[in-house]
Amino acid sequence: MVFGMFGKKEEEEEELEPVSFLGPVNGQDVNMKANGRLVEAGLMRAKDLVTDALARRSDTIRLEPRGPQAVITISVDGIPYPGGKLGKAEGLAITQMLKLLAGLDIKERKKAQSGGIKAEFETKPYTLGIKIVPVAEGERLIVRVTDAKLKLDLPPDVGMGEPMRLKLRDLCTSPGVLLVAGPGGSGTTTTLFAVLRNIDAYMNTIYTLADFEGRKVPQVTRMEDAEPEDLAGTIAKAARREANVILCEPVKTDTAAKAMFSRHESILMMAEIPAKDTASAVLQLIEWVGDPKLVAEGLKGIVTQKLIRVLCNDCRMAYKPKSDFLRKLGLPDDIAALYRKPPDAAEGNQDQCESCGSVGFFGRTGMFELLEMTEGMQAVIAGKPDANAIRSQMKKDKMITLQQDGLRLVAEGKTSLEELQRVFKPA
């Protein structure tokens, strides 16, 4: 099955060995025999869909019922492409089959569910994160593809530059609240665990209340007997065990925020917070905690990130920028070359790149922003600020911003100015 998401010409394509599904990531047994009709209707269709997506380097597959059809969208390096349409019954069979393979409840249609499938394609291992979201016409299927061999454990793995890593290392040496902000699906969890790896786990006692989602982090103890409905009590229990660092579940309520800030003087508290940027996260904390001065006193910093596409090393094109242009961007004027993707076929380029499929990009990396609690920022936050006042203070204190970190990636030849403009273009 070819969904033609790149608008390819109809031509005979090389036959691919279909993906192998190797079982749920949670180790649960899947009874295929007891679900014979579903297997007959959905297994090969699910394999066709996932095989086609993996062959095209997809990171996300979405299958959504719309009227009599199921619409497929496949993303490559975060860019969505139309993936074709199926009949509603075919889409339902695929969704139910992947739920079964992920160890989810195929009879449950009204509640959100999530799980994962271990898979292999062309001898490479993958993890397929399965998320089911109830919608008006049925269930939306979201499959997030992860290369199981791709390590995103340490700060350099996720793209953090050395100045950011050094600042975070300093922030992680004393008590307080350190947060990673971002909307869902933006990489906040990966960033949080990368920040955690800045901490010397052999010199500090680290407890986690959060789900590791299959990550292996050495010398971190899970609070198995934690009471999730009483975060303050769980934090107190970890404190009695002489915790230096506690990794909490994402902060989503005023109760959770108050519990974390109540211990800011004795323990380093780390967590995610759903917010569009660092300034919005500060304002949300002030609202939840109810005391701007306590937020200013207890907050150590907030990290946020955006993902940006990386230029393909095999086809990127170098050009010599003018010195005054570099100075205008705030870049060193001795940079020998910047890079851009090659022109498209529509612009007269006939060369084809096998590595990236002539897209010009291959993979993504992170660019990061760090709001630090300088004396100036503490004064601003304690005074019940708005977002503009926070951003203005960040600029005054010369903190690392997303735009500055993006220019670092441009200067290093990892991405292009055009890609940077695309990422920051208003939606």
Contact call for residues 154 and 197 (beta carbons, < 8 A):
yes
* DSSP secondary structure letter of residue 276: S
Contact call for residues 111 and 125 (beta carbons, < 8 A):
no
pLDDT, tens digit only, all 427 positions of the chain: 444 444 443 444 567 899 999 999 988 889 999 999 999 999 999 999 999 999 999 999 999 999 999 999 999 999 999 999 999 999 999 999 999 999 999 999 999 999 999 999 999 999 999 999 999 999 999 999 999 888 888 889 999 999 999 999 999 999 999 999 998 777 898 899 899 988 888 889 998 887 766 667 778 888 765 445 578 888 888 888 889 999 998 999 999 999 999 999 999 999 999 999 999 999 999 999 999 999 999 999 999 999 999 999 999 999 998 888 888 888 888 888 999 999 876 566 667 888 888 889 999 999 999 999 999 999 999 998 999 999 999 999 999 999 999 999 999 999 999 999 999 987 6
Q: In whole angstroms, what separates CA 286 from the centre of its chain?
A: 25
The domain 20-147 having CATH identifier 3.30.450.90: the answer here is yes
Q: Strands 176-181 and 268-273: what pairing? A: parallel
Helix (H, G, I), strand (E, B) or coil at 120: strand
Task: Please give the model's pTM, rounded to 2 decimal places.
Answer: 0.83
Contact call for residues 331 and 411 (beta carbons, < 8 A):
yes
The CATH code belonging to domain 155-312+316-344+353-424 is 3.40.50.300
Domain with CATH 3.30.450.90 in the chain: 20-147
In terms of residues, how long is the chain? Answer: 427
Contact call for residues 191 and 180 (beta carbons, < 8 A):
yes
Domain with CATH 3.40.50.300 in the chain: 155-312+316-344+353-424
CA proximity to 116, closest of 131, 133, 96: 131
Task: In the chain, count H helices and then E strands.
Answer: 13, 16
